[in-house]
Structure 1
Amino acid sequence: MVNPIAISVKKLDLYYGEKQALKNIDMNIEERTVTALIGPSGCGKSTFLRTINRMNDLIPNVRIEGEILINETDIYSDDVDVEMLRKRVGMVFQSPNPFPKSIYDNVAYGPRIHGLSNKKKLDEIVERSLRGAALWDEVKDRLKDRATGLSGGQQQRLCIARALAVEPDILLMDEPTSALDPISTLKIEELVQELKKNYTIVIVTHNMQQAARISDKTAFFLNGDLIEYNDTDKLFSNPDHQQTEDYITGRFG
């Protein structure tokens, strides 16, 4: 069964000044799947991830051509509300970055920014989001404690809860386990599998085994080109391109 398309990328080019970082990217990302982006450092995968919620807008001299459609709307058209886009397309970064506030206030931050002040509703959102990030049972008795006192793995799950609190449709993850120990990494991977029941997830990873374990589809980037995009099982067992095989077997990268 083919899921509906959540993100449609058409002829996407991205330039940092004169340097072209993404070249003519075409791909459709399905709803409620995990799509892994792999490739060596500097190949364009994190740059591509950041195009999906316009994080690259914050970088000087970036120029983008082509289209990214979400719900059939080109997110780079002039009338798109970027704040609302980022509400619908959440982001989790490589290193956990909790705010220097309480656990509760970290999760409630987004809903408050969007105008919610009702304590009962905030309480419900905080609990639902922490449960969604598989963290509630560990922190429910210390919601007023500072978030920076949590372990690294807990902080990353808190950042996931913070992203979930504004009820996104899409969750972008930029190497979310690279700073974590193996046990915390496993918890995040299990969480990703649970979250895809309700969210479309796009994840950048340098870990081939992780991509093979948790993703439904994998995209291999090299020097700004999308070399291959296929079902994960197919891409890892029988890739269509020699460059893909060379990368996943460790011949370069």
Structure 2
Amino acid sequence: MALAVVERRVDNPVEQPSVERPVVYNTSGCNLWYGDHHALKNINLEMREKEVTAIIGPSGCGKSTYIKTLNRMIDLVPNVRTSGTIEYRGRDIFSKEFRVEELRTRVGMVFQKPNPFPKSIFENVAFSLRIHGIKNKKLVHERVEKSLRQAAIWDEVKDRLHENAYGLSGGQQQRLCIARSLALEPDVLLMDEPTSALDPVSTLKVEELVHELKEKYSIIIVTHNMQQAARISDKTAFFLNGEVVEYDTTDKIFNRPSDSRTEDYISGRFG
């Protein structure tokens, strides 16, 4: 069966790392249940520093459940239980010694739909700093500007920082939410289908932003968009029915997959 080739953008190729980078997340034998529903089944994944890892697969396959487990947002869901281990830089994230507040400071999260606070553009970014005890006004202003610049939105909002964030477009709101996550200077950025609600122009801006941010951050992104995964990621994990079918470099997953189910999904035969 012929494999449908998904091309990368030639003007902004994703380069494979020439050296092996330090491990950021190591998931070993991870299982998760919602009540009696076995949502994640024996997940084994190793994700490395300053790489973009894409998680692909059909709806309901466990992609979002997995990414929400990485910063323990899954704790907010009732009747959830887990087994196995997930280590963040060698520390068990479920250990009593690892405070969830510390984990979420180090691991930021961007959701599927932009969710700005009903506050000014400035306060949307400053809010997370203040609740973490940063009160120095000069430092807050510096961090806000730095984060907005990193999220490639500073030039668009620098003259309207005190206007309500709801006045921004959908794409601008999503980049504002990315800036809000970056304000705490995290180590990892989790992104759960961050462009699914955006138009093509805004999607392109977020993709270009991801490419720039990986110079400093490790990024794990859930996406339904095969072309997007091929364009922006270094590694790709294919989830199906709560399992990882295949995990490898993005080039291999899209052009030389080892499992026929991966080929069938990428070529559009199901999903």
Partner of 2:172: 154
Q: After the TM superposition, which residues 35-74 of structure 1 pair with which residues of structure 2 at under 5 Å, given as runs?
A: 35-74=53-92
Q: Which residue of 1 aligns with 2:189?
A: 171
1:140-170 Cα distance to aligned partner (Å, 9 max, x none): 1110000010000000000000000011000
Cα deviation code 1:114-137 (max 9, x no counterpart): 101111000000000000000101
Given the two structures, how large is their TM-score scaled by the length of structure 2? 0.93
Please tell me the root mean square deviation across aligned C-alpha atoms, in Å. 0.5
Instruction: Describe the SS at the equivalent of 1:201.
Output: strand
Distance 1:75 1:120 in 2: 33
Shift of 1:206: 0.2
Aligned twin of 1:10? 28
Cα distance in 2 for partners of 1:140, 1:189 equals 22
Match of 2:244 among 199, 209, 226: 226
CA displacement, residues 161-185 of structure 1 (integer Å, 9 cap, x when unaligned): 0000011000000000000000000
Listed as ranges, the gaps of 5+ residues in structure 1 are none
Would you say 1:203 and 2:232 are equivalent positions?
A: no
Residue correspondence of structure 1 range 78-89 to structure 2 within 5 A: 78-89=96-107
1:234 counterpart letter in structure 2: K
Shift of 1:240: 0.4
Is residue 32 of structure 1 aligned with residue 50 of structure 2? yes
Q: TM-score, normalised by structure 1?
A: 0.99
Q: Deviations over 1:53-94 (max 9, x none)?
A: 000000000001111111210001122111111010000000
Rounded to whole Å, the distance in 2 between the matches of 1:74 and 1:109 is 29
Counterparts of 2:43 and 2:97 in 1: how far apart (Å)? Answer: 23
Specify the SS of the correspondent of 2:26.
strand
DSSP-derived class of the 1:210 partner: helix
The letter for the 2-side match of 1:203 is I
1:134 aligns with 2:148: no
Structure 2 alignment gaps of length 5 or more = 1-18
Identical pairs, percent: 66
